[in-house]
Chain A
């Protein structure tokens, strides 16, 4: 009896091994190297412990601004993805089979395109004399040409398009499991359309919305290509600064310190999510 239960306890460990092995090689080891690099000196007296890279990051108000912009954009992108993604997921979950497949395809399609090509697409739309400018002029809303290139609004628009599928698909998972009779029951019990969504659909899809929000936030805080191409050099985000340090200034120590700070910020922001999902998971 005892040996049988011990062997069943060991089985999950076997299943875990390949994933754990990969994680150690591809994630924990490089992260450790990064951590090491961020606290070691470079140059002639290389290999000494130091905090100079971190001091540099905190001393220079330029990087505080970059960090603030990155956080602000990530929060805004997450919020907009929530506001668009939740209703969209509801519509998809109630659509007929064919419409549902088409909508999912439309939402996932951007993920199948290279990020560079997709971003150049936005250049055509948002740029000087682009489609957006032309439409606004045709409608008589603006005089002369407009451009959202090299603006934060442009970055947000382009990022929302890329990250929306993560929000929609995670929420859709919850909505598909929800019995349609729950909302009908709420209606019969006196809740109007919006109140039934607020009191029933929203709490029922909260776990999906939370995972979606974390995914979107984590991906936008660390995104690099889209902000660089749409925002340009005058609107750097943390990831593009790190890239700049590593490949332009060859200041690996400082780049590593910035990376560690980004990682730390992301982990801190994961905490509320873990608490919330722990609570939600216990309830549902």
Chain B
């Protein structure tokens, strides 16, 4: 069942078009990440869905109801702000009770019970009488989260939910958010510029660029099969190789600037001519086996990163970054052969 439809939404601020005929469908219970660099329109889209901005044209349908012209309070949604937006003059319990109180759901005692339950769900039920300023950043976030889920919204919107936390807390919160989504099954859309966050949390990642969808798909799909250079680069970073595709009998070969050739995996639309390819850093092996396409290379420099080692290698006239385990990196001489499975060299459309 479809919970949210965004129908060719256009948003202009003056002469600048922030969203360009944007379409999106989100199924009930889906966990969707809107991922993109700042200025790609992802936050504007979230605010339009929430009713805090009006689209220049297009429609928003929540739970089968067109809500485009409705103010935020008439849409049954919750939005967790990046700044949490806790009300400083109200206690933790009163903050969490606020959505129920404003919507006059149930009696006061029932509202308080549900606020308690929501706080228990984020393990904060011992802090009900405190005020927001008496809590740490992580605790404030949990209060904001409890406040977002307490009224069982049709749609849970999260704006950069983890960006104000330090690395340690962020990891905890990722687990927490995923667990909460699995427990409650709320249709959730969150905005982020952090690809790790999008990959770690979402069922579906929508990569946005310049007010349009660049690519959408499951995290594995987006990471493994990016279609464009932008997608490849934004998700995890990658080596982008510009090769000349040439035909040698039955097979297609990739010609490097210095003349060496590697075999290419056949794929639709791959034809002779100049073409950009993506090669993930961790797809490059410094100890290639027989099934790999190999290339003579020299290691220029290495960074030891603890669990991994990053090597800058020069091969076929290109500089490539390889991320490998430290052991295999250490044992290598400066001149060696590097390799990768042909399927890992992914042709991009520009």
Interface residues of A (CB under 8 A from B): 179, 181-182, 184-193, 195, 199-200, 203-204, 283-284
Contact = CB atoms under 8 A, between A and B. Distances in A.
A194 to B, nearest CB: 11
B52 A187 contact: yes
Contacts of B71: 187, 192-193
B103 A182 contact: no
A182 B73 contact: no
7 contacts: A186-B87, A187-B51, A187-B71, A188-B52, A190-B102, A190-B151, A199-B102
B234 interface: no
B83 A186 contact: no
A188 B147 CA distance: 11
Interface string B26-55: 000000000000000000000000111000
Contacts of A179: 83, 85
B147 A189 contact: yes
B99 to A, nearest CB: 4
Interface stretch (B74-82, B200-208, B278-286, B330-338): B74-82
The 3 A-B pairs with the shortest beta carbon distances in the complex, nearest first, are A185-B85, A190-B102, A189-B99
Contact of B102 (A191, A193, A283, A284): A191
A184 B72 contact: yes
A203 B88 CA distance: 10
A204 B132 CA distance: 14
A80 B124 CA distance: 44
B256 interface: no
B73 A188 contact: yes
Interface in B64-103: 71-73, 77-79, 81, 83, 85, 87-89, 98-99, 102-103
Contacts of B83: 179, 181
B131 interface: yes
Contacts of A188: 50-52, 72-73, 77-79
Interface in B102-151: 102-103, 131, 147, 151
B97 to A, nearest CB: 10
Contacts of A200: 87
Contact of A182 (B78, B85, B99, B147): B85
A84 to B, nearest CB: 24
A117 to B, nearest CB: 43
Contacts of A184: 52, 72, 79, 81, 85
Contacts of A190: 73, 99, 102-103, 151
A195 B102 contact: yes
Given A181-B83, A184-B81, A189 B88 contact: no
A45 B51 CA distance: 80
Contacts of B131: 283
Nearest to A180: B85
Contacts of B78: 188-189
Given A186-B102, A187-B52, A284 B77 contact: no
Nearest to B159: A181
A271 to B, nearest CB: 23
Given A181-B83, A188-B72, A204-B89, 15 more contacts: A179-B85, A182-B85, A184-B72, A184-B79, A188-B51, A188-B52, A188-B79, A190-B73, A190-B102, A190-B151, A191-B98, A199-B87, A199-B102, A203-B89, A284-B88
A189 B147 CA distance: 9
B73 A192 contact: yes
A283 B89 contact: yes
A189 B118 CA distance: 15
Contacts of A191: 73, 98, 102
Contact of A187 (B72, B87, B89): B72
Contacts of A187: 51-52, 71-73
Contact of A181 (B85, B99, B103): B85
B84 to A, nearest CB: 9
Nearest to A206: B89
Most A CB contacts (10 A, CB to CB) among B52, B89, B98, B103 go to B89
Given A189-B147, A191-B102, A182 B50 contact: no
Interface in B195-230: none
Nearest to B157: A188
A189 B95 CA distance: 10
Nearest to B102: A190
Contacts of B52: 184, 187-188
Contacts of B89: 203-204, 283-284
A185 B102 contact: no
Contacts of B81: 181, 184-185
Contacts of A199: 87, 98, 102
A283 B130 CA distance: 11
Contacts of B51: 187-188
B266 to A, nearest CB: 51
Most B CB contacts (10 A, CB to CB) among A187, A189, A193 go to A189
A181 B81 CA distance: 8
Most A CB contacts (10 A, CB to CB) among B102, B103, B151 go to B102
Contacts of B98: 186, 189, 191, 199
B47 to A, nearest CB: 9
Nearest to A284: B88
